Chains A and B, each alone.
Chain A
Amino acid sequence: MNFGIIVFPGSNCERDCFYVIKDVIEQPVRFIWHKERDLNRVDCVVLPGGFSYGDYLRSGAIARFSPIMEAVRNFAEKGGLVLGICNGFQILTEAGLLPGALGRNKGLRFICRYVSLRVERTDTPFTRDYREGEIVRMPIAHNEGNYYIDDVSTIKDQIILRYYGENPNGSIDNIAGIINKEGNVFGLMPHPERCSEKILGSEDGRRIFTSIVRSL
């Protein structure tokens, strides 16, 4: 299966995602520059973390206007798998591909550390290799991870990951990751690509990628 990683100016986790996909789960992967307009036979699109456009104006707010985003939208509408990590999640909410918004962390500081997460649903293409209710550890690294939506009941079946034990950023209903109604666009604040190898201290993130591979 072919992965495509979108590179925006200011993305900085694209090479980390590339490494995990190519060298850890051993799948074909390539970079797609944000000015391209065609996804060209990609099975899963990854929007990586980082600071697209320096997070100027608002995280993800400028990146959503990049030429490639129209292709991503069409791809998603046709049921293609889209994974947005951290800044990628922010871009997906800005682009309207996922509901809600991500605001400043409640402590108004950047937070980089491991957190505990509860996997709420495993009947998705992104989480099928986890056990429902499983507690996993993944790192977060963000300034704006405080997920908000006016009426959380409207997405109650779309919550895939919740912070467990402690909520680091004040997100509503402890939300750490959500999926769209159709079940093919997934955004999460934690970084699975940072915890997919034993040498880095945790392999809990790897199953996000293996789930995707098994789904296609």
Chain B
Amino acid sequence: MRTKEELERISMSLEEYQMVKSLLGREPNDLELGMIAVMWSEHCGYKHSKKTLRLFPTTGTYVLQGPGENAGVIKLDDDLLLVMKMESHNHPSAIEPYQGAATGVGGIVRDILAMGARPIALLDSLRFGTLDDSKTRYLFSGVVNGIAGYGNCIGVPTVGGELGFEKPYTDNPLVNVMCVGLSNGRLMRGKASGVGNKLILVGASTGRDGIHGATFASLELTDESIERRPSVQAGDPFMEKLLIEAVLEAIEKSDAIIGIQDMGAAGITSSASEMAGRGGVGVEIEVTKVPQRERGMSPEEIMISESQERMLLCVERGKEEEIQSIFEKWGINFAVIGEVIQDRVIRVKEKGKTVGEIPIDILTEKVPAYDLKPKEPKEIKRLQTIENIPSIENYEDVILRLLGSPNCSSSHWVYEQYDHMVETNTISIGTGASVLRIKGKDYLLGVTTDGEGRYCYIDPYTGGMIAVAEAARNLICIGAEPLAITDGLNFGNPEDPEIAWYFVEAVKGMSDAAKRLNIPVVGGNVSFYNESEDYTVYPTPIVGMIGRIDSIKHLCSPNFKKEGDTLYIIGEPGNIGGSIFIEEFTGEVKGKPKLDMELEVRLQSILLKAIRMGLVKSANDVSRGGLAIALAESSIWGKLGVDIDVNTNLSKVEFLFGEAQPVVIISVDPEKEKEIEELFKDMPLKKIGEVMGNNLKIVINGEKVADIEVSELERVWKLGIERWME
């Protein structure tokens, strides 16, 4: 029997320990218990999320591989596959921002590589506290440096993502990294099979870093968390780069590789047992064969170490040497550490003597799955009501203040530290969805990440829907047809019924929107326990989405193109609920976000059609900061002013800063007005002015509310983050 302290150290409840005993039919020894504990951690086992995640639609015309593998796979054409996945590295980044973020990049890249695909793009969805706080600046700069340090070195361009700065993320920054890869060859899977075939560990040597990292990621952060710093792994991007090239070369030149798996959370234990589980076999591991960088490591330490830049291969017996020569060329470890066995167990040996043996299913299928006990927070009703909207004297000041706030301003300070051009496929970034070409193909790819914790905090169902709808809308605005979703779900402690409610509602909202827009979810990640003594993060589901632009002729962008072009808004603007305006001016998020899903479906389909017909010169989605900020962005990017003259029943604040969805601003050649009006005749379409001059000029109901030079807008917008960091 184990003491309470022993179980606490590995974050296992007494009930779970009893379950382990009855499944094994005996007391587990230390090694076995350590292995089970990491696999049963929330991070690896998805104990509290598994059941809810079944809500997601996961199949579709293009889907070749949905959730359950190293990454999701969709078919782009007859000979090209796209692999995508998002993963969080929140806890490590809160403790050691540079390495936390760096190893987050490394891990997701290996997930893509494990499918046999070359990683072609990274996107980062980041959330921090507010920049007036010095610890936030330290975390922010460390995370950005970590992503840059790792991503730049491995030569995978970082092409997008988004940023948010809000108080609830002060202690728990969110670092969600998405990676996209392409494969025109053999799709690999994380599977072991064929008794006698070899298990080969390639890449870095194994040390004591990251022991119980998965367990650590399944706890709330406390002051003592800093002592968990050894749970944070250290990355070696150079080794990762060699690993990428060696693995891709091995797959290309030999058919001896049966399966590949990234070695991430829970180390050898998870890769070996998951590969065996998928293949319906067992595995035997000899720990002394594992290349070690420290002396005297115990079998438990070797089995659960989370040392980075390692992968596990299952290779056909007798063909080890043809693979070995490739890894030797790249100068990296290649060690046969075990083999596939008939018995469906993971058997751990030390110098030939069995030191532990666990049935595979205890580590995989039999991980407990808990029912959540969701309960709507009492607070919700209060949060959803706005008592009084701040009154505004000077609208120009508000526009400039919002535009210069780090939540709406330019993110060039961040992305210019990332190599976003290597691989020479990047066509545009920094303005909504990013665009990549694929060499040798006529079509282009659009990629984006979106998700507003602010909305989910007051209405998780609508917030979840908006995360999906907005990502899709961003793709539509560049002329892309959305193809698939990968998600990153970031929440507090799911054992708290209110957090559970947020989680379930947000997933329901995302699922419903994904179904309505017909975009499957092909994979994702859940990160719980993002809370400290002072803060719980906003419930933050992030949506990573991929789309395809048929041809460069159909590529659209958000910048204004030409003086005299007519401006329209499609959709019904308004609704100040949940807006950045309310948060910025009241210090609290209030009101209800609003999304008209029925309109969304129609708007997206007609807008894509209009773009493909060549009728749209620019399209920009209205989101954070509302219409005023969207107009300012398109002006800044196009270096052209606008002349807006509208009549509206909305208050000026609602019209300018409301974030009702869907709303899109398009600019159109005046000669095409008739065609546009005909196409959009069944939905709200309003002519609001024209592209004109050098100023953002807005007149509402005959009253001039703003007349600001575009160069001034640009100056303020560019300084938003820089002014805090330089």
Contact = CB atoms under 8 A, between A and B. Distances in A.
Interface in B331-388: 331
Interface stretch (A48-56, A95-103, A154-162): A48-56
B424 A56 contact: no
By size class, the interface of chain B is 20 to 34
B417 A111 contact: yes
A10 B439 contact: no
Interface in B223-254: 236-239, 241-242
A94 interface: no
A199 interface: yes
B55 interface: no
Interface string A15-34: 11001100100000000010
A23 B424 CA distance: 13
B564 interface: no
A112 interface: yes
A12 B552 contact: no
A51 B148 contact: no
A110 interface: yes
Contacts of B241: 9-10, 12, 51, 54
Given A51-B238, A199-B552, A15 B423 contact: yes
A50 B421 contact: no
Given A10-B238, A13-B422, A51 B417 contact: no
B138 interface: no
Contacts of A201: 427
A110 B330 contact: no
Nearest to A12: B155
B277 to A, nearest CB: 35
Most chain-B Cβ atoms within 10 A of its Cβ — which of A20, A33, A199? A199
A125 interface: no
A200 B419 CA distance: 15
Contact of A112 (B237, B329, B330, B420): B420
B423 A54 contact: no
B424 A55 contact: no
A197 B238 CA distance: 29
Contacts of A49: 422
A56 B421 contact: no
Contact residues of A: prevailing secondary structure: mixed
A200 B239 CA distance: 30
B193 interface: no
Interface string B443-461: 0000000000000000000
Contact of B427 (A10, A53, A111, A199): A199
Residue picked from B412, B416, B424, most chain A C-beta under 10 Å: B424
Interface in A32-72: 33, 49-51, 53-56
Interface string B395-439: 000000000000000001001111111111011000000000101
B155 A13 contact: yes
Nearest to B552: A199
Nearest to A7: B245
Given A10-B238, A56-B238, A200 B427 contact: yes
B552 to A, nearest CB: 7
B535 to A, nearest CB: 29
B644 to A, nearest CB: 30
Nearest to A33: B329
Given A16-B424, A54-B236, A55-B153, A10 B242 contact: yes
A205 to B, nearest CB: 10
For A15, A49, A109, which residue has the most chain B Cβ atoms within 10 angstroms? A109
A53 B238 contact: yes
A187 interface: no
A149 to B, nearest CB: 26
Nearest to A107: B726
B416 A112 contact: yes
A15 B505 CA distance: 46
Given A56-B238, A110-B148, A10 B153 contact: yes
Interface string B672-701: 000000000000000000000000000000
Q: Which of B237, B419, B427 has the most CB of A within 10 A?
A: B419
Interface in A183-208: 191, 193-194, 197, 199-201
Nearest to B330: A9
Contacts of B238: 9-10, 51, 53-56
B383 to A, nearest CB: 39
Contact of B423 (A16, A51, A111): A16
Contacts of B153: 10, 12, 51, 54-55
Nearest to A35: B329
A20 B421 CA distance: 14
Contact of A141 (B236, B412, B422, B439): B422
Contacts of B416: 111-113
A143 B151 CA distance: 13
Contacts of A20: 424
Contact of B437 (A54, A141, A194, A199): A199
Contact of B418 (A53, A56, A112, A194): A112
Interface string B658-682: 0000000000000000000000000
B292 interface: no
Contacts of A143: 152
B154 interface: yes
B621 to A, nearest CB: 23
A59 B153 CA distance: 12
A194 B242 CA distance: 23
A139 B154 contact: no
B331 A9 contact: yes
Contacts of A51: 152-153, 155, 237-238, 241
A33 B249 CA distance: 14
Nearest to B726: A107
Nearest to A9: B242
6 contacts: A10-B241, A51-B155, A110-B152, A112-B152, A143-B152, A193-B424
Which 7 residue pairs are nearest across A and B when measured between Cβ atoms?
A: A12-B155, A54-B238, A51-B153, A16-B424, A141-B419, A112-B419, A110-B417
Given A20-B424, A110-B152, A113-B412, 12 more contacts: A12-B153, A12-B422, A50-B155, A51-B152, A55-B153, A55-B238, A111-B416, A111-B417, A112-B416, A194-B422, A200-B426, A200-B427
